[in-house]
Amino acid sequence: MKNFGIILTMLLGCTSSVFAQGADTLTLSQAVQMALKHSPSLEAGMAAIDQAKAQLNEVESYAMPQFAGDASYTRIDPVVIIAVPGTPISIQTAPNNNYNGNFSLQQPLWAFGRFDAEDRVAESGIKSAQDNLEAYKAQAAYQTTQIYYSILTTDEAIRVEQDQVSVLQSNLADADQREKQGTATALDTLNIQARISQTESEIADLQASRRKQVAGMRRILGMAPGTPVNVTRPAQSSQLPEDVNALDSIAEKQRPEIVMAQDAENTARLQIDAAKESNDPLLSASVTGGYKNGYLPDLNQEKLNWAGTINFHVPILDGGRTHAQVDEAEAQYRAAQARTEDAKLGVEDDIEQALADLQSSRSRVKLTDVQIQQAQQAYDISVVRYKNGAATNLDVLTAQSALEQARLQQAQLMFSLELSQYNLNKAVGAPMW
């Protein structure tokens, strides 16, 4: 029988997919970039940034000059006509047909900080939209990573099962030969054939699972149906300190949920200032000029005219509206502070769980080394005993199955360990793009 030792080398090699040996292999980095390019959430996030910038432009327009043109026609009938006593002269007080065309220019001169406060709120909205986009990127990147590793693990399972079929077929040839020599019975051949059928059935199930996983990957990456997806074992993610306090400090600066909560808190604080400034005085100037008729002595002749105004508006009583707006903004600020604290607690929990998973996976990988050694020894002994007639072929198949499962478990745990490292990076908000 063939030795199973080559399988471990194949499992833990850098190229880990039986489907991914060509130049068309999709790397994890490429998959993440494709996911970011085709994610509808990212399109929505970029649109939100454009919307926030447009809102800032709208707010800034309030402090800019406003220029407008107006034209009107008014028919008055009858009009007052005054007769001059003792003369045939009469004076018409207004024309029947009144024409007016003018342009007006208005410019706020001083808003006592009102416009500046509104600008700061709008700028904070842009920052929030940008950080929301980063959160969308993180979600798309880590979702892609999860599916990528699912495909990778399934490929490894298929590899192990296919290698097992090869070993079983070699065993079947040996059993046929021994049966012809009279040193084995047909039961040995039937047992191996049954085991081959069972393994091939497991391969079919794994291949069906892979097709589902690939379909999910194609949807995320925007690939056409039926496009082959071949994956390869990625490089290790960046290593992080395995100290909870250090990880919490990193996460507080870059975890999207915390950053977005802090953005909302800052916006709410700025809205308090804007609410307080909303009732400030406003100094403005306006100039209006154009042509109109109705001037003596010739009421029907249009004449150039203009008027300039300086206006100082001082709110005195607004029925408590400003006070209510400030109270509302302060309540929103307190709520935002609470959400920030809740986000920090949630991230701390994520970090502790991710760190526990990482350390557990590392410990389990180390244990599989011992399990494989023991399973290999048991398999080697069963082969020797079978050749000496002290064990049955079923004993060999059982030991062989145990060795196969131990090696498959080690490969799966290796990928689980790598994914745990990515999950720890996710917990602290480390970008993958």
H or E segment at 87?
A: none
Count of beta carbons in the 10 Å neighbourhood of residue 183: 12
**Mean pLDDT, rounded, for 358-374:** 89
Q: How confident is the model at residue 148 (pLDDT cuts 50, 70, 90)?
A: very high
Dump pLDDT digits (tens) for 186-243: 888 888 899 899 999 999 999 999 999 999 999 999 999 999 999 998 887 778 888 9
Looking at the chain, the whole-number percentage of residues with pLDDT higher than 90 is 59
pLDDT over 90 at 270, yes or no: yes
- How many CA atoms does the CB half-sphere of 75 hold within 13 Å? 1
Q: What per-residue confidence (pLDDT) applies to 412?
A: 85
pLDDT at 327: 96
Average pLDDT rounded to a whole number, residues 106-133:
93
Which residues make Cβ contacts (< 8 Å) with residue 276, sequence separation at least 6?
Answer: 117, 322, 326
pLDDT(308) > 90:
yes
Q: What is the DSSP letter of 204?
A: H
What are the structure tokens assigned to 260, written together? 């977005």
CA pseudo-torsion sign 345, 346, 349, 354: negative
Q: Kindly state the average pLDDT of the residues 142-169.
A: 91
Mean pLDDT over each residue of the chain, to the nearest integer? 88
Q: What is the pLDDT, as a whole number, of residue 433?
A: 67
Q: Is the pLDDT of residue 268 over 60?
A: yes
Q: Per residue in 379-418, pLDDT tens?
A: 899 888 887 878 877 888 888 888 888 888 888 888 899 8
Mean pLDDT of 76-88: 87
Q: List b or e across 350-384, with b for residues whose CB sees 16 or more CB atoms inside 10 angstroms.
A: bbeebbebbeebeebbeebeebbeebbebbeebbe
CA angle 81, 86, 92 (to 5 degrees): 15
More confident residue, 17 or 152: 152
Q: Is 293:98 a contact under the CB 8 Å cutoff?
A: yes
Give me the domains of the chain, ranges plus CATH numbers.
5-63+111-280+319-428 (1.20.1600.10), 66-110+281-314 (2.20.200)
Could you give the CA distance from residue 132 to residue 54 in angstroms, rounded to a whole number?
A: 17
**Contact between 158 and 210 (Cβ < 8 Å):** yes
State the pLDDT at residue 114. Answer: 86
**d(C-alpha 33, C-alpha 222), whole Å:** 11
Residue 357 structure tokens: 């998973």
3-state secondary structure of 42: helix
Q: Report pLDDT for 1.
A: 37
User: Which pLDDT value is given to residue 189?
Assistant: 86
Q: pLDDT digits over 2-27, tens only?
A: 333 333 333 334 333 333 344 479 99
Q: How far apart are CA 393 and CA 191, in angstroms?
A: 8
Q: What is the pTM of this model?
A: 0.75
pLDDT of amino acid 2: 37
Can you give the length of the chain in residues?
A: 433
Angle of CA points 187, 193, 196, to nearest 5°: 145
DSSP 81: E
